Amino acid sequence: DWTMAAFRGEAIKSIRAQVGEGRVLCGLSGGVDSAVAAVLIHEAIGENLTCVFVDHGLMRLGEAEQVVTLFRDHYNIPLVHVDASDLFVGALEGVSDPETKRKTIGKLFIDVFEAEAKKIAADGRGAPQFLAQGTLYPDVIESVSFTGGPSVTIKSHHNVGGLPARMNMKLVEPLRELFKDEVRALGRELGLPPAFVGRHPFPGPGLAIRIPGAISREKLDILRKADAIYLEEIAKAGLYDTIWQAFAVLLPVRTVGVMGDGRTYDHVCALRAVTSVDGMTADFFPFDMNVLGRCATRIINEVKGINRVVYDVTSKPPGTIEWE
Ligand code: XMP
């Protein structure tokens, strides 16, 4: 793609112009945006970029490992992997209010990231003066997209918002003029694996907001298994790229079922899939019932703790994409 090749060259020039010999810190989330930003900045300034991946233990199955492998082994980009799952899961114990969950995660994230930044600043190579973010154009106008009016915040969004000022760092945001599909094109241009580039969006607070009510390690494990089966079936049906976002939700409701000769009393799993252009509005995805049926059968047979599967047919508005 010649436009993206041109953009790549221009972006590298302007990153170099902004940063000079300075050091840049980049938080990786596991998503496409921060990964593309990191690879681009690495191409511009090499070893002066340090990536930090705060693993909150709320990722999907195998995802944390994939990020580490991609950056360390494939790209050879210096990456600090912080396993903070005990901290996050511990802090969320007994927390069931959606906004309190989001704020707890957001605050902890900043604390952990800041502590890592201080360690990196003390490594003898001087403190990083820049913080890189995979901010996209729609995020720049986020105040419009995520509020229901002048004073109504629907969901508090999770990012490192206050951090640059607190740590006296300047922002590097090489993707601020791009839309999601352009970031994907740039990612392909930079040689990121197609499967990685085509990934569905994933929220910062992770699986915590896909378990209404209080989370636990056990619930996270159940949800990860159900979610992986669901996405595997979607891929097998050739629908992954048609769908904007698909995921499982583990409900805090148990219902009665029968398996073999026995009665079961287990959790309900809700499946969600939507089509969308930018996440601001969305339509529920009209699956062929056979696909959904296969997902339900596999989830119930293979995931201990779930005995019923339902499908969410709510569009946005009035629903939001995530359940919390
Ligand atoms: P909602 O649920 O508000 O989600 O319809 C719209 C899109 O945003 C994602 N989302 C988030 N992304 N941090 C993020 O980085 C968040 O706190 C967050 N909350 C929702 C959601 O997955 C969907 O793509």
Residue 16: the pLDDT is 98
| Residues 6 or more apart whose Cβ sits within 8 Å of residue 6 | none
pLDDT digits (tens, 9 = 90+) for 41-79: 999 999 999 999 999 999 999 999 999 999 988 899 989
Cβ–ligand 1 distance for 206 under 6 Å, the answer no
pLDDT level of residue 264 (50, 70, 90 thresholds): very high
Average pLDDT over residues 105-118: 94
Q: Percentage of the chain surpassing pLDDT 70?
A: 94
pLDDT for position 143: 47
ipTM of the complex: 0.99
249: CA distance to ligand 1 center in Å? Answer: 14
Cα-to-centroid distance, 30 and ligand 1 (Å): 14
- Our answer on whether the CB atom of 106 is closer than 6 Å to any ligand 1 atom is no
CA 280 to ligand 1: nearest atom: 6
Which residues are within 8 A (CB) of 284 and not within 5 positions of it... i.e. 6 or more apart? 272, 273, 274, 312, 313, 314, 315
For ligand 1, say whether the CB of 187 is within 6 Å of any of its atoms: no
pLDDT at 142 > cutoff 60: no
Q: Is the CB of 157 under 6 A from ligand 1?
A: yes
Q: At what angle do helices 2-19 and 180-189 cross, to 10 degrees?
A: 90
- Look at the block and give the residue holding tokens 């969305």: 282
Q: Which of 127-136, 159-168, 312-321 has the lowest mean pLDDT?
A: 159-168
For residue 163, pLDDT over 70 is answered with yes
Specify the residue with its C-alpha closest to ligand 1, atom 18: 203
Q: Whose CA is nearest to atom 4 of ligand 1?
A: 321
Give yes or no for residue 322 CB within 6 A of ligand 1: yes
* Residue 149 banded pLDDT, cuts 50, 70, 90: very low
Please state the atom number of ligand 1 nearest to the C-alpha of residue 102. 17
Whether the Cβ atoms of residue 282 and residue 292 lie closer than 8 Å to each other: no
Q: What is the pLDDT of residue 154?
A: 75
30 lines ligand 1 (CB under 6 A): no
* Residue 117 scores a pLDDT above 90: yes
Pocket test for ligand 1, best of 135, 275, 322, 324 (most atoms within 8 A of CB): 322
Report the mean per-residue pLDDT for the chain.
93
Phi and psi at residue 96, to the nearest 5°:
-120, -15
Check pLDDT > 90 for residue 159: no
Would you state the pLDDT for residue 147? Answer: 39
Nearest CA to 251 among 101, 96, 88?
A: 96
Residue 317: asked if its preceding bond is cis (omega within 30°), the reply is: yes
Tallying the residues shown for the chain, one arrives at 324
Domains contained in the chain, CATH given: 2-197 (3.40.50.620), 216-311 (3.30.300.10)
Residues 256 and 239: their CA atoms lie apart, in Å, by: 32
Looking at the CA of residue 322, tell me the nearest atom of ligand 1: 2
> Does 312 sit in the ligand 1 pocket, CB within 6 Å?
no
Distances (CA, A) of 206 to 13, 216, 231, 283, 314: 34, 13, 16, 21, 21
pLDDT surpassing 90 at residue 7: yes
Banded pLDDT at 150 (limits 50, 70, 90): very low
Q: Is the CB of 321 under 6 A from ligand 1?
A: yes
Q: Does the pLDDT value for residue 146 go beyond 60?
A: no
Contacts 24+ apart (CB under 8 A), 102-107: 102/155, 102/156, 102/158, 102/205, 102/209, 102/324, 103/156, 105/56, 105/58, 105/158, 105/204, 105/205, 105/206, 105/208, 106/156, 106/158, 106/159, 106/204, 106/205
pLDDT at 225 over 80: yes
Query: What value does the mean pLDDT take over residues 201-225?
Result: 97
Secondary structure (DSSP) of 201-244: P--TTGGGGGSSS---HHHHHHHHHHHHHHHHHHHHTT-TTT-S
The mean per-residue pLDDT over the stretch 220-242 comes to: 98
